[in-house]
Structure 1
Amino acid sequence: MDNEAVISTSSLPLDEAGALLQALDDPARLWPLLLDLMSRHLPCDACALLRHDGRSDGVKAGEGMLVPLATRGLSPDTLGRRFELDEHPRLQAIAEADGGPLRFPAGCELPDPYDGLIPDLSQRLHVHDCVGAPLSVDGRPWGVLTLDALNEGRFDGWDGAIAAWAQLTADLATAVERRAAVVGDGGTALRVLDEPAPGLDLEAVGGSPAMAALLAEVDTVAASDLVVLVLGETGVGKELVARRLHARSPRAAGPLVHVNCAALPDALVESELFGHVRGAFSGAVADRRGKFELADGGTLFLDEVGELPLAAQAKMLRALQNGEIQRVGSDRHITVDVRVIAATNRDLAAEVREGRFRADVYHRLSVYPLRVPPLRDRGTDILRLAGLFLERNRARLGLRNLRLSAAAERRMLAYPWPGNVRELEHAIGRGAIRARVARPPDGGVLTLTPADLGLADLGQEEGSVIPTAMPAQQPRIPEPADLPELPLRDAVEDLERRMIRAHLARHDGNWAQAARSLGLDRSNLFRLARRLGLRE
């Protein structure tokens, strides 16, 4: 083909060259295979292939972010890390290098991004010999290749071989990109969507079979206009699924309007969704478009749709059926072109049986259900996600590196993560601060233990076998000495305040979820909170 790159595989055995060429159509298999062969032929203890993310298009080679595509010899969390070049001077120097690979002298004072990330039995060792090569595709920066060794002088005399492997990597990248351009699927280019948490996307941190199956299903249904109901526990990433559905759809150029249904006051739900006209109610001083109108030509994401009141559900049915809405206070019907994506952690079928959700609305919303697997079912994705959060906190605390101890990795893989990705992010954020306060970093590298992460409460000692599930805790009957010295009424109110605060903290301030976990109706919880002075 005219657009095919010339790939410099002549120095490789035929079987190895053939394996690489056969994997060109599957970059997820190609890049690990390439590093496997590279680590077999070159004297390195670790190697990594990183590429510029989508935000780096059109910027200089030393700017933007590098995202690992594959690693060998580095801790599993490395794949989840995101390396901002202005925070990692060695990677920046490699990206800006001219004339081939760049080798750093043994006494180089620039911090190495992989210090402490090369596992060696029970400890993580520091890098002593480092070389990297910038990679270009059709004259534009594409990524970098890095090789690291624990012993000084390991790469002496290997300059030519390293340059040849770097050229092979660039040739393969060029072939992959050109094939992708012909097919029109974007190839391996990482798409950083407009997310509240930059860098966190399903594809980059989800390599497990469960997530691979979900991604394939998401990308297939994205091309349609079907209404999608995204199901899953709290904190699994349902919003990320919705954003990917929009970004991969023909509506990607249109708006993506996000509505948190649980946060809508009952009295204003219809106005927020469908808009209102001037004078429709007290305070309606002007006409106002609702979320359905704002999403015209794009996608409307109804998060926590199970929290919608029944009255609002009845009015939404017409919008779902015919694309027609009616502003509050108006007799005129407005037609909108909107693709609806809804998300919930509730069992809506059970809600229908209990009469808390309309059956007709449920069937309209669940045209194509997508279930996001919980974190406990995603294997080593836990460590990839941990790498993303470790890198964020490293930058926040000004550390040379932030890593997990081997015991912490084992504990994280065994822990059930009832709060899923959100709980993982918070555990690492808290753990980093605790560890930073408790002890000084070792050469700028701080290691998190299970105790730092708050996962040492399983009743297990370091190195012991960790249960795969948390045992249910029996309620403890307080001893007389534990009881507050207050009148009974005051003691009950004090307990109610503490329970409400605890459940709100557990659910990140979400009153609807706190109400469910307390076994209360949301409006009853609001009234109780106002009586206790927790709400105005």
Structure 2
Amino acid sequence: MTPDRVTLTADELLESVAPLVADMGAGLPGEELYRRLLQSLRVLLPCDAAALLRLEDGSLLPLAVDGLSRDTLGRRFRIAEHPRFAALLGAGGPLRFPSDSPLPDPYDGLVEGVHGDLDVHDCVGCPIQLNQRIWGLLTLDALQPDRFSLADLAALQLFANLAAAIVTVAGRIEQLENRVALESLRAEGFRLAAAPRARELIGRSAAMRRLLADIELVAGSELSVLIQGETGVGKELVAEAIHAGSPRVARPMISLNCAALPETLVESELFGHVRGAFTGAAGDRPGKFELADGGTLFLDEVGELPLPVQAKLLRVLQSGQLQRLGSDREHRVDVRLIAASNRDLAEEVKAGRLRADFYHRLSAYPLRVPPLRDRGRDVLLLSGFFLEENRSRLGIGAARLDASAQAALLAYGWPGNVRELEHLLGRSVLKARARHPQRPRILSLGAEDLELEAQPADASSAAASPGLAAPDGGAVRRPAGESLQEAVDALKRERVRAALAAHGFNRAAAAQALGLDRANLIRLAKRLGVALEPGKGPRAG
């Protein structure tokens, strides 16, 4: 703390607190209340960064930050991996760490406007209690040593109490505005108590807010949901969120990837079979419908189902009755269906590859998951989440994105969406770490580490074209003396490889991009010697 600021006056405290009390009565959303709380706190106690974090399942989730990198909001700080957070949660009140504390700071490398590996030197924090239980943390960080004093700790305790009141008010406002959200939260709490937490949907863009609102709206109903979107956008996470917010949350959610099964096994997987129903059926076996009885069945790539199976599936959805393969006995099931596809299923109906009645049954409530390129700065939140994940797995002290990396992420078109982002950051962290003989405590990623300049935003459109032009639109130079058939096969080979890579080796999606049937793509790849899985040789199936 600077020498001329020895203590805080009552007038200073009142001047900081009064506007926040007025805000609480104005019906502002929680996110805005949290932001104003941190701004007022930084005015009263000048520092370089402030954060409000909620405690959930052994991790701290940032709800609002001021002075920290935007990607901090996407991070999930596991208490067991951050001893400073653990100390603050167990302090029982405000706590200041000595400037020479050996404990690593979770915010190292995340303070805005700081270049290079500078540490946070003066840190204070205070647990927030709600209903006599620790709800979260309020933290302040300064790069200047000895910035905070004992008087500042008293002020921080006051703001922690105010934060608890703001959290309570924000919760009541949310309850009044959206009773459906309240029921979803109750169901989510029950699910968390009964099962490990699934990966959550992260995003604050307008497109994601609309999607999350639709999820909350439909979750409590019994309507079938059709989730559509490009490869890699997170359709399965949306299905999990719908199930988590439904009255069926105590029952299982069973998943089946329809594109991964040969036609001969689809019926058995869905409806089960009895002993002797086909060669290799050594005993009775229930199908996915029976396993999901009372819960949810998620059919991924539902557009890949053969027409005869669609008819049988429609009957089960309408009557709730099924027969195992090879049996005349009826089984009654109570299952909610959630389906997903990266195809335009309405167009599939027009093309005769999908039954119209089956499509209308699936799409009682259609949802479209936005591609990452339409989600704006969500890419930074997701990057923070994935960097924290990789930091934990690789044992890195901290990982951050510099300004050039953030700009590159925001400018890229993401043909592979969130899955591409996750894989890219994993590779980038590995490559950046390999450049340092000694493992750095703060690993800073720049645009050069991401190597996005070699992957243009329209890469997916090049892979999706079924023609034989070069990816850059120019002519392809082939070896002299090569026959026309050899040249054509070489170009086909490049196209098939590019399509598979662009769609994460999802054969159905790659086939659609190339204008082929899935079976034809498999046969073509086998003939051309193209691997159907990363790191493996060609394989049928």
Q: Same fold (TM over 0.5)?
A: yes
What residue in structure 2 maps to residue 509 of structure 1?
A: 505
Distance 1:186 1:148, change over 3 A: farther
1:84 to 75, 78, 86: 78
Equivalent pair of 1:88/1:111 in contact (CA under 8 Å): yes
Deviating more after overlay: 393-402 vs 105-114: 393-402
User: For residues 484 and 29 of structure 1, do their structure 2 counterparts lie closer, same or farther at Cα, with a shift above 3 Å needed?
Assistant: farther
Structure-2 change in CA distance of 1:28 and 1:210 (3 Å): same
* Corresponding position of 2:62: 68
1:211-257 deviations in Å (ceiling 9; x for gaps): 11111111111111111111111111111111111111111111111
Partner of 1:30: 33
Percent identity between matched residues is 53
| 1:356 partner letter | R
1:404-424 CA-to-partner distances (Å, cap 9, x unmatched) read: 110111111111111111111
Q: Structure 2 counterpart of 1:519, which letter?
A: G
- 1:48 and 2:51 correspond: yes
SS of residue in 2 equivalent to 1:206: coil
Could you tell me which runs of 5 or more consecutive residues in structure 2 were left unpaired when the two chains were aligned.
1-12, 463-470, 530-536
Asked if 1:118 corresponds to 2:111, the answer is yes
The change in CA–CA distance for 1:187 and 1:500 in structure 2 (over 3 A counts) is: closer
Within 2, Cα distance between the matches of 1:279 and 1:10? 81
1:107 counterpart = 2:100: yes
Equivalent in the alignment of 1:94: 88
| Residues 278-357 of structure 1 aligned to structure 2 (within 5 Å) | 278-357=275-354
d(CA) in 1 for partners of 2:335, 2:163: 44
- The SS at the match of 2:125 is strand
For residues 148 and 125 of structure 2, the distance between their equivalents in structure 1, rounded to whole angstroms, comes to 11
How far does the alpha carbon of each residue in 1:138-165 deviate from its partner, in whole angstroms, 9 at most, with x for none?
A: 2222211110112112113422212211
**Unaligned residue ranges in structure 1 (runs of 5+):** 1-8, 56-63, 460-466
Output one character per residue of 1:70-114: Cα deviation in whole Å (capped at 9) or x when no partner: 11110000000011112111111111213x111111111211111
1:136 and 1:331, CA in 2 relative to 1: closer, same or farther beyond 3 A?
same
**Range with greater deviation from structure 2 (182-191 or 428-437):** 182-191
* Mapping for residues 327-406 of structure 1, pairs under 5 Å: 327-406=324-403
Tell me how many residue pairs correspond in the alignment.
506
Counterpart for residue 467 of structure 2: none
Which residue of structure 2 aligns with residue 151 of structure 1? 144
Whether contact under 8 Å (1:415, 1:468) holds in the other structure is no
Deviation for aligned residue 1:325: 1.7
* Aligned residue runs from structure 1 range 476-515, under 5 A: 476-480=474-478, 483=479, 500-515=496-511
Q: Distance in 2 between matches of 1:121 and 1:276?
A: 63
Q: Map 1:393-472 to 2 at 5 A.
A: 393-439=390-436, 444-457=441-454
Taking a change above 3 Å as real, the CA distance of residues 475 and 176 of structure 1, as seen in their structure-2 partners, is: closer
Residue 5 of structure 2 is matched in structure 1 by none
Rounded to whole Å, the distance in 2 between the matches of 1:90 and 1:189 is: 32
Q: Give per-residue Cα distances to partners, 1:495-527, cap 9 Å, x unaligned.
A: 666654544333333222232233332222333
Please report how far the alpha carbon of residue 29 of structure 1 lies from its aligned counterpart in structure 2 after TM superposition.
Answer: 3.0
Do the aligned partners of residues 189 and 318 (structure 1) sit closer, same or farther apart at CA in structure 2, a change above 3 Å counting?
A: closer
Separation in structure 1 between the aligned mates of residue 187 and residue 299 of structure 2, nearest angstrom: 29
Superposed CA deviations along residues 275-324 of structure 1, whole A, max 9, x for unmatched, are 11221111112111111111111111111111111121111111122222
Partners of 1:229 and 1:342 within 8 A in 2: yes
Residues 237 and 421 in structure 1, CA contact (< 8 A), matched pair in contact too:
yes
With over 3 angstroms needed to count, the CA separation of the structure-2 counterparts of 1:407 and 1:144, relative to structure 1, is same
Q: 1:338 to 1:189 in 2, by over 3 A?
A: closer
**CA distance in structure 2 between the aligned counterparts of 1:188 and 1:29, rounded to whole angstroms:** 24
Where does residue 227 of structure 1 map in the other structure?
A: 224
Tell me whether 1:172 sits opposite 2:175 in the alignment: no
After superposition, the Cα gap between the structure-2 partners of 1:71 and 1:405, relative to the gap in structure 1 and judged at 3 Å, is same
Secondary structure of 2:112's counterpart equals strand
CA contact (8 A) 2:88 2:126 kept: yes
TM-score (norm 1): 0.86
Q: Is the 8 A contact 1:402 1:446 kept in 2?
A: yes
Residue aligning to 1:19: 23
Task: Indicate if the aligned counterparts of 2:277 and 2:326 stay in contact, CA closer than 8 A.
Answer: yes
Shift of 1:125: 4.6
1:468 Cα deviation after fit? 10
